Amino acid sequence: MTQDIPHQRPGRLAGRIAVIGGAGSVGPGWGNGRATAVIFAREGATVFLADRDKESLEVTARHVREEGGTAHTAVLDVTEPSAVQGFFAECEERAGRVDILVNNVGGSRAGGAVDLSLEDWDSQLRTNLTSAFLACKHAIPVMRRGGGGAIVNTASASGLRWTGAAQVGYASAKAAVIQLSRVTAVEYAPDNIRVNTVVPGQLHTPMVEARLAGQRAGGDVAKLLAQRQARIPLGFMGDGRDTAYAALFLASDEARFVTGTEIVVDGGMTARCD
């Protein structure tokens, strides 16, 4: 954790119960899930954190608690239906309701339509799309019983356009996450449940060092960072905090009239023609 998260207006989520899937991080620094957990807790939410990596999850929870926040953790695979169902049942039992859900689980695998194996295709859909579907499936009934809520799904700029590498499974799944959000938003608007999507671009998250550099640049982190930054009109890369602040807005009452749409957090990358 090399940089602090700057304080914004406190209390925007005061008293809320927020569930964050994928709340760990593959390495030190501000991954999307870890940043979201810390920022939401700082804004007054009690956070229920899920991740399959126990050690990483506990690091996130420790950061929340060090700031005086309340964090509950659950180690689980969010692509397993029974595990997800049990997790939301436990959240409702312990907290009485779920006000906010952030689906942040994801991961890419290189390969186009010819090169990507069917096994990897299925895995990409399960990780990036089914995880969000299952969480929505089991969170929405709890939200309805509580009078409403806000769901924020995390997609990717890869679901909007080519971003420099063939990753057809990931791109297809993240495009589907956007439509999952739109359809779900319309269906459950009468229940006072808002559903939106954050669409991060090429951020400098721990994933770059831990995984992407090896996949895309032969392990050369500096080379990959230069390639990614060259695509961004603003001239610098954001990180998980930028994703988290967009999610914060969408989860807060400030977005009370916002549903079925997306916030693209990419420094202008997807607006370029080249």
What are the tens digits of pLDDT across the range 119-150?
999 999 999 999 999 999 999 999 999 999 99
pLDDT surpassing 90 at residue 241: yes
Lowest mean pLDDT segment, chosen from 104-108, 190-194, 244-248 = 104-108
pLDDT digits over 226-235, tens only? 888 888 999 9
pLDDT digits over 42-90, tens only? 999 999 999 999 999 999 999 999 999 999 999 999 999 999 999 999 9
Q: How many domains does the chain have?
A: 1
Domain extent for 147: 17-206+241-265
Q: Is 227 among the domain residues?
A: no
Q: Is 90 among the domain residues?
A: yes
The per-residue pLDDT for 221 is: 73
Q: Is 67 among the domain residues?
A: yes
Q: Is 10 among the domain residues?
A: no
Q: Is 7 among the domain residues?
A: no
Q: Give the domain CATH number at 37.
A: 3.40.50.720
Q: Is 30 among the domain residues?
A: yes
The per-residue pLDDT for 228 is: 81
Closest CA to 54 of 41, 81, 71, 73: 73
The per-residue pLDDT for 28 is: 82
Closest CA to 2 of 209, 159, 255: 209
How many angstroms separate the Cα of 121 from the Cα of each of 73, 124, 127, 172, 200?
30, 5, 10, 10, 22
- Tokens 């593959």 correspond to 26
Q: Is 2 among the domain residues?
A: no
Q: How far apart are CA 16 and CA 148, in angstroms?
A: 12
The per-residue pLDDT for 1 is: 46
pLDDT digits over 153-193, tens only? 999 999 999 988 899 999 999 999 999 999 999 999 999 99
- Identify the sign of the CA torsion 208, 19, 251, 153: positive
pLDDT surpassing 80 at residue 15: yes
Residues identified as active-site: 170
Indicate the pLDDT class of residue 110, thresholds 50, 70 and 90: very high
